Amino acid sequence: MANWSDPRIDGGPQSTTTVGRGQVAVDAGLRAHMLSVYNYMSSGVLLTGIVALLFAQGGADSLAARIFIGGGLLKWVVMLAPLGLVFWLSFGINRMTETTAKAVFWGYSALMGASLSFIFLVYTGGSIALTFFATSAAFASLSLYGYTTKKDLSGWGSFLLMGLVGLIVASIVNMFWMNDTFSLAIAAIGVLIFAGLTAYDTQKIKSLYFQLAGTQFLGKAAIMGALQLYLDFINMFMFLLRFLGSRD
């Protein structure tokens, strides 16, 4: 069988043209896929922000205040509903149509906005905006690194997963201990873990494209990729807010 990449084959210029066209087609497809992922992710973050702002309008009389200060069952419904949707999307994606997956993703983003609206009751609007722009800059840089680097980041997966599990355990412990120094340490570790996950997930999404290109699953893969990057962004934002946020 001929080796199409062997420069010793007769008719080299014709072969080079064919390979070049194929590479251009792959690059165009990859760019379109990544653009789709980033568009879904950005729309999700935007929807979350809009819903959070709407829930926080009115200060002490806002929906956010009634939910989180008033307490009761509604507070837990608003906090836990996004978790239910993200599990449904993650484990049920193969049985969903692409349209249903999009609806669940945007529904999840909206519920996250309601869940995160409490930050406007705790921190000043200026510090929230500053943290958002800082997170955006860091996310863009880290995702660009994950997309362009030639280094294989797959080895980071196990390390980051263990770190994430440890972070969850430490956060649960601190819910009862309520130590400010320990809380800041958790926030610092959280920023580092989700910074690493941003680069790792971006490269994983890029690699998955080459496995699914031309299949019916590529559209749903873009939604799941957007969900992964959305979670990286939101968690990095929330941990950074502990450092940069000024309390009202």
- The secondary structure of residue 247, as a DSSP letter, is B
The answer to whether 133 touches 49, Cβ cutoff 8 Å, is no
What pLDDT score does 205 carry? 97
Q: What pLDDT sits at residue 1?
A: 39
pTM: 0.88
pLDDT at residue 246 in the model: 84
**Amino acid (1-letter code) at residue 248:** D
Over the stretch 183-218, which tens digit does the pLDDT of each residue have?
A: 999 999 999 999 999 999 999 999 999 999 889 899
Q: Residue 6 pLDDT > 90, yes or no?
A: no
Characterise 11 by phi-psi region: left (phi > 0), alpha (psi -120 to 50), beta (else): left
Amino acid at 96: M
Task: Give 5 or 206, the one with higher predicted confidence.
Answer: 206
3-state secondary structure 86-121: HHHHHHHHHHCCHHHHHHHHHHHHHHHHHHHCCHHH
Instruction: Note the pLDDT of residue 245.
Output: 85
Q: What is the mean pLDDT of residues 62-73?
A: 87
Q: Which residues pair with 247 in a beta bridge?
A: 123
Decide if pLDDT at 223 tops 90: yes
Hey, CA dihedral for 128, 108, 193, 211, is it positive or negative? Answer: negative
* Residues 190, 241: Cα–Cα separation, whole Å: 11
DSSP 8-state class, residue 60: G
The alpha carbon dihedral of 202, 208, 212, 217 has a sign of negative
User: Residues 12-25: what's their mean pLDDT?
Assistant: 47
Amino acid at 135: T
Q: Which two tokens stand for residue 44?
A: 């999700």
What is the full DSSP assignment across 197-227?
HHHHHHHHHHHHHHHHTTSTTHHHHHHHHHH
Are 37 and 222 spatial neighbours (Cβ–Cβ below 8 Å)? Answer: yes
State yes or no: pLDDT of 60 exceeds 90. no
CB environment 148-166: b (16+ within 10 A), e (fewer): eeeeebeebeeebeebbee
Model pLDDT, residue 162: 95
Average pLDDT over residues 211-235: 95
So what's the pLDDT on residue 21? 56
| Model confidence pLDDT, tens digit, residues 152-188 | 999 999 999 999 999 999 999 998 988 889 999 999 9
Residue 4 CA to residue 126 CA, distance in Å, equals 58
Predicted pLDDT at 175: 87
What pLDDT, on a 0 to 100 scale, did the predictor assign at position 22? Answer: 54
Residues 6 or more apart from 218 whose CB is under 8 A from it? 33, 209, 212
Q: Pull the structure tokens for residue 146.
A: 């994950």
Backbone angles phi, psi at 145, to 5 degrees: -60, -45
Lowest mean pLDDT among 9-18, 69-78, 196-205: 9-18
